[in-house]
C-alpha cells in the first residue's frame, strides 16, 4: 500500500499554548489534514489558523485530554482519504516528514504484526535520554520494531479502522493513563502496540525531574496526581489491564505516598491530591 500525506490526519491537543507553538503546528500541518483541539478556557487562535491546512476547535473549557482527542479523531473521520490518525501534544518536537514516516512504518510493520498503535522512540527534551517507563522491559527488536504493553499518546499512530474496532479514548479518565488504558483494550482484542527505533521524537515528559541516586523521578503538576491515583484504582479493577501493570503501578503509588511529602518540592500539596484521588476512585467503584 502506498501511503501519502493525504492518508494521514493529525490531532494536536493543546492547553494554554503559546503563539509560537500554534505557529509551529501550522507549519507542520502544511502537508496534512489536521485539527487543533484547544482545552484552554479562554484562549482563541482562529486568526493563526485561517490560512493554514488545520482546523482550530476551541472547547471553551478543559474537557480533558481524552475527550479532546476523541473530538479531533471524530473530526478527521469525515475525510474519506484519511487512513491513519496521529496524536500529538503541543510540546513535542518533530520535522514535517515524521507523520508520513510513522504511517509508512505502521504499514510496513503491519505486514508481520497485528499492530494497533505505533509510536516513535521518545527522547526526553531535557536529558536527551531515551524515555523508559517504570515497567520498561527490553524485548526483542524486530526490524526496528519493539513491542510494548503501552505507549505514550504523543506521536501515537493508529489506523482509523483500529479505532472503529477498539473504540475511542476513555473520557472518564480525563488525562492520566488514558493512553495506557486504550493500549490494554486494543491488546484484549488481539492487537499489539509498540514503538519503532527507526524514528525518534523529542518530547517533554512531566514538568520537572528529581534525581535520587541513579533513580530519576518525573514530577507532574500537582493536580495530575489526583487523576493518577483515582484512575489507577479504576484500572486496577478492569479485567483486561495486565496484572503486572497493576502490581508495579500500585506499589509505586504507595511508595510515593510516603516519600513525596518529605523529598519533593510542593510534596505536601501533591500528597493531598493523591489522597483526594484515592477517595474519588473508591467512590466511583462503589457507585458502579
What is the structure's pLDDT at 134? 53
- Rounded-to-integer distance, Cα 48 and Cα 194, Å: 34
pLDDT given at position 213: 67
Residue owning grid cell 507542520 = 28
Instruction: Report whether 92 contacts 203 (CB < 8 A).
Output: yes
Can you give the pLDDT at residue 204? 74
Average confidence (pLDDT) over 53-66: 93
Mapping DSSP to helix (H, G, I), strand (E, B) and coil, where does residue 159 land?
strand
The closest of 111, 119, 186 to 151, measured between CA atoms, is 119
Whether 78 shows a pLDDT value over 70: the answer reads yes
Judged by DSSP in three states, 169 sits in coil
- The pLDDT value recorded for residue 131 is 66
In a 3-state reduction of DSSP, which class is residue 84? strand
- Please compute Rg for the chain using Cα positions: 19
- What domains sit in the chain, N to C, each tagged with a CATH number? 5-203 (3.90.550.60), 208-287 (no CATH)
Kindly give the interhelix angle for 222-236 and 243-263, rounded to the nearest 10 degrees: 150
Whether 135 shows a pLDDT value over 70: the answer reads: no
- At 37, which helix (H) or strand (E)? strand 33-38
**Mean pLDDT over the full length of the chain:** 91
CB-based contact 54:34 (threshold 8 Å): yes
Note the pTM of the prediction, 2 decimals: 0.93
* Contact yes or no for 203/89 (Cβ under 8 A): yes
Q: Please enumerate in sequence order all residues whose Cβ is within 8 A of that of 230, keeping only pairs 6 or more positions apart, or say none.
A: 277, 278, 280, 281, 284
Mean pLDDT for 145-150 is: 93
Amino acid at each position: 500500500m502506498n501511503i501519502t500525506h493525504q492518508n494521514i490526519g493529525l490531532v494536536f491537543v493543546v492547553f494554554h499554548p503559546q503563539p509560537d507553538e500554534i505557529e509551529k503546528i501550522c507549519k507542520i500541518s502544511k502537508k496534512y489534514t489536521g485539527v487543533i483541539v484547544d482545552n484552554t478556557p479562554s484562549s482563541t487562535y482562529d486568526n493563526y489558523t485561517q490560512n493554514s491546512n488545520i482546523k482550530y476547535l476551541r472547547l471553551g473549557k478543559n474537557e480533558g485530554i481524552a475527550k479532546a482527542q476523541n473530538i479531533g479523531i471524530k473530526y478527521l473521520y469525515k475525510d474519506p482519504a484519511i487512513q491513519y490518525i496521529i496524536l500529538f501534544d503541543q510540546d513535542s518536537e518533530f520535522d514535517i516528514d515524521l507523520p508520513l514516516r510513522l504511517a509508512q512504518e505502521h504499514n510496513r510493520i503491519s505486514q508481520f504484526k497485528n499492530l494497533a498503535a505505533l509510536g516513535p522512540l521518545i527522547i526526553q527534551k531535557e536529558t536527551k535520554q531515551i524515555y523508559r517507563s517504570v515497567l520498561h522491559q527490553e524485548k526483542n527488536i524486530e526490524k526496528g520494531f519493539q513491542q510494548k504493553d503501552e505507549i505514550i499518546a504523543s506521536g501515537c499512530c493508529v489506523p482509523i479502522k483500529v479505532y472503529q474496532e477498539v473504540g475511542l479514548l476513555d473520557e472518564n479518565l480525563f488525562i492520566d493513563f488514558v493512553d495506557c488504558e486504550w493500549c490494554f483494550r486494543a491488546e484484549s482484542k488481539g492487537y499489539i502496540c509498540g514503538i519503532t527505533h527507526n524514528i525518534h521524537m523529542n518530547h517533554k515528559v512531566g514538568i520537572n525531574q528529581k534525581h535520587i541516586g541513579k533513580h530519576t523521578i518525573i514530577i507532574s503538576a500537582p493536580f495530575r496526581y489526583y487523576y493518577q491515583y483515582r484512575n489507577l484504582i479504576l484500572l486496577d479493577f478492569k479485567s483486561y489491564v495486565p496484572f503486572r501493570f497493576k502490581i508495579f503501578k500500585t506499589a509505586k503509588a504507595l511508595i510515593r505516598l510516603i516519600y513525596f511529602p518529605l523529598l519533593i518540592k510542593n510534596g505536601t500539596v501533591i500528597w493531598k491530591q493523591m489522597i483526594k484521588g484515592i477517595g474519588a476512585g473508591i467512590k466511583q467503584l462503589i457507585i458502579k
